[in-house]
């Protein structure tokens, strides 16, 4: 069956139809025709939605799903449905499962479980065995099996030489190495951004310095070894400056920022709500301004939900005892769209992350594969617990006003609407 998208505004800077309102006919998973008006024929599914906008399919580069081992938090099947209904046609899945994704068979398990889903799953395999930071995992074998990058999720590589060797070794097969920006020795037992709020609330502080020292070390190593380095979920103004300077030197370094670090500050901690306990911790208004500017000027390459479902037993406890992590797929677009202009960030969900992680981006043009996200950028909503699609409910955006509504995706020859 064919699908006709009626009166869709196209947001795709690589398309000849950018910013134009068109009808789009999709047949057999490909864009057959784009025109001002297309006549509806038999056996065609008509999609007419309020203020419909479409873009290339969104790609989230940091998603945790739980399975295998933590299915009570999220299963692969439901997680992929959540991603599709949240506008993502592809997600990169972190290795923080049980067992850790650190072998060829583990990577193949994830890919097999996601077969035939509308949203494509791409594994990020562990950089070290069991993510313990001691011995490097079999990176090349895992890349051959489908891993698109290597990193120990939310765990820094403390061994300088191990990081150096990883950057050198990965160059043999053009591998992408991830390094989480945290120095554990400086961070200690800190659970909140070190500053006025942590002092007022009596919470152990984790200074921004923990992030700066680790990033500086990694950039020195990258300058020495060459290769490709991606720094996930930076959270401070100084981090933006460090990466900006490294890019000016010509180093192959990229970075991402999470939606919650772009939009929420440590002022949220005054209620001791563990849904605001994140890693890195939420920072200051000054940091948020610098991060938003970093997106606009191209220093920050990727925006990610950093979706990390945590079950109620590990969240509904004292703030100091709760696990880090928030869910973010459902709220990603509405939160970003509340603080940045659509054309300022859409490439950070599409073209840029796909280029960095080696995925193909399908421009919205006749003859191309239909890999499309459908949304309304203007509708304002107040996000509620009832709108959570994930199995776990640890969202920091409950009762927050969001701008924009995601309708769903057309991907892998499937239309998934919320």
Transcribe 64-118 into DSSP letters: ---TTT-TTT--HHHHHHHHHHTTEEEEEEPS-SSS-S-SHHHHHHHHHHTTT-S
The structure tokens 């709020």 sit at: 197
Q: What is the pLDDT of residues 191-205, one digit of tens each?
A: 999 999 999 999 999
Domain covering 2-53+365-377+402-417, topology: Urease, subunit C; domain 1 (2.30.40)
- The residues, ordered by sequence, that sit 6+ positions from 39 with a Cβ below 8 Å of its Cβ are none
Encoding tokens for residue 67? 């399975």
* Omega of the bond leading into 94 within 30 degrees of 0 (cis): no
Q: Which of 277, 268, 265 is nearest to 306 (CA)?
A: 277
Provide the sign of the torsion angle of the four alpha carbons 17, 23, 29, 32, taken in this order. negative
E strands present in 238-325:
253-258, 302-304
Q: Specify the DSSP element, H or E, that contains 290.
A: helix 285-296
CB 366 within 8 A of CB 33: yes
Residue 203 DSSP symbol? P
Q: What is the pLDDT of residues 47-69, one digit of tens each?
A: 999 999 999 999 999 999 999 99
CB 91 within 8 A of CB 59: yes
Is the pLDDT at 306 greater than 90? The verdict is yes
What is the domain partition of the chain in residue ranges? 2-53+365-377+402-417, 58-357
What does DSSP say about strands 401-411 and 414-417: parallel, antiparallel, or unpaired? antiparallel
* Sequence-ordered alpha helix ranges (H) in 154-284: 160-170, 184-187, 196-201, 209-225, 237-248, 259-263
Catalytic residues: 306
Q: What is the mean pLDDT of the segment spanning 28-38? A: 97
Q: Tell me the percentage of the chain whose pLDDT exceeds 70.
A: 100
Side-chain-side CA neighbours of residue 311 (13 Å):
10
The structure tokens 């004292």 sit at: 318
Question: pLDDT at position 1, please?
Answer: 84
Domain 58-357, CATH number (from 3.40.50.970, 3.20.20.140, 3.40.50.720, 3.40.50.300): 3.20.20.140
Is the pLDDT at 271 greater than 90? The verdict is yes
The structure tokens 């499937």 sit at: 414
Say if pTM beats, i.e. exceeds, 0.95: yes
CB 114 within 8 A of CB 136: no
- The residues, ordered by sequence, that sit 6+ positions from 106 with a Cβ below 8 Å of its Cβ are 99, 100, 123, 125, 142
Domains 2-53+365-377+402-417 and 58-357 in one fold: no
Is the pLDDT at 123 greater than 90? The verdict is yes
Is the pLDDT at 28 greater than 90? The verdict is yes
Q: Tell me the percentage of the chain whose pLDDT exceeds 90.
A: 99
CA gap 155, 131 in Å, rounded: 8
- The residues, ordered by sequence, that sit 6+ positions from 109 with a Cβ below 8 Å of its Cβ are 68
CA gap 205, 194 in Å, rounded: 4
Question: pLDDT at position 59, please?
Answer: 98
CB 359 within 8 A of CB 243: no
């Amino acid at each position: 069956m064919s699908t006709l998208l009626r009166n869709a505004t196209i947001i795709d800077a690589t398309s000849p139809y950018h910013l134009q309102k068109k009808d789009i006919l999709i047949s057999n998973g490909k864009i057959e025709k784009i025109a001002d008006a297309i006549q509806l024929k038999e056996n065609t599914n008509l999609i007419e939605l309020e203020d419909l906008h479409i873009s290339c399919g969104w790609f989230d580069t940091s998603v945790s799903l739980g399975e295998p081992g933590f299915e009570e938090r999220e299963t692969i099947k439901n997680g992929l449905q959540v991603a599709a209904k949240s506008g993502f046609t592809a997600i990169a899945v972190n290795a923080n499962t049980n067992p850790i994704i650190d072998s060829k068979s583990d990577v193949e398990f994830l890919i097999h479980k996601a077969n035939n889903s509308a949203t494509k799953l791409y594994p990020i395999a562990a950089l070290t065995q069991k993510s313990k930071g001691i011995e490097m995992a079999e990176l090349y074998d895992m890349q051959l099996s489908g891993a698109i990058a290597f990193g120990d999720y939310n765990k820094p590589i403390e061994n300088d030489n191990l990081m150096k060797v990883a950057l050198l070794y990965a160059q043999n097969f053009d591998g992408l190495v991830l390094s989480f920006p945290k120095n554990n020795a400086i961070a200690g037992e800190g659970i909140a951004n070190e500053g006025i709020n942590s002092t007022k609330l009596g919470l152990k502080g984790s200074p921004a310095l923990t992030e700066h020292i680790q990033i500086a070390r990694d950039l020195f190593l990258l300058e020495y070894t060459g290769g490709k380095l991606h720094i996930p979920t930076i959270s401070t103004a100084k981090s933006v400056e460090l990466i900006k300077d490294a890019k000016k030197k010509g180093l192959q370094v990229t970075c991402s920022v999470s939606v919650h670090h772009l939009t929420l500050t440590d002022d949220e901690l005054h209620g001791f709500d563990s849904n605001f306990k994140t890693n890195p911790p939420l920072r200051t208004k000054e940091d948020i301004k610098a991060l938003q500017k970093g997106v606009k000027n191209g220093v920050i390459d990727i925006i990610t939900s950093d979706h990390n479902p945590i079950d109620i037993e590990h969240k509904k406890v004292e703030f100091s005892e709760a696990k880090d992590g928030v869910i973010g797929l459902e709220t990603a677009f509405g939160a970003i769209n509340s603080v940045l202009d659509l054309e300022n960030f859409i490439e950070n969900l599409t073209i840029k992350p796909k280029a960095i992680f080696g995925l193909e981006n399908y421009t919205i043009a006749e003859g191309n594969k239909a890999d499309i996200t459908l949304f309304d950028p203007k509708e304002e909503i107040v996000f509620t617990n009832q709108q959570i699609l994930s199995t776990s409910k640890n969202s920091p955006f409950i009762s927050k006003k969001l701008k924009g509504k995601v309708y769903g995706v057309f991907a892998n020859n499937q239309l998934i609407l919320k």
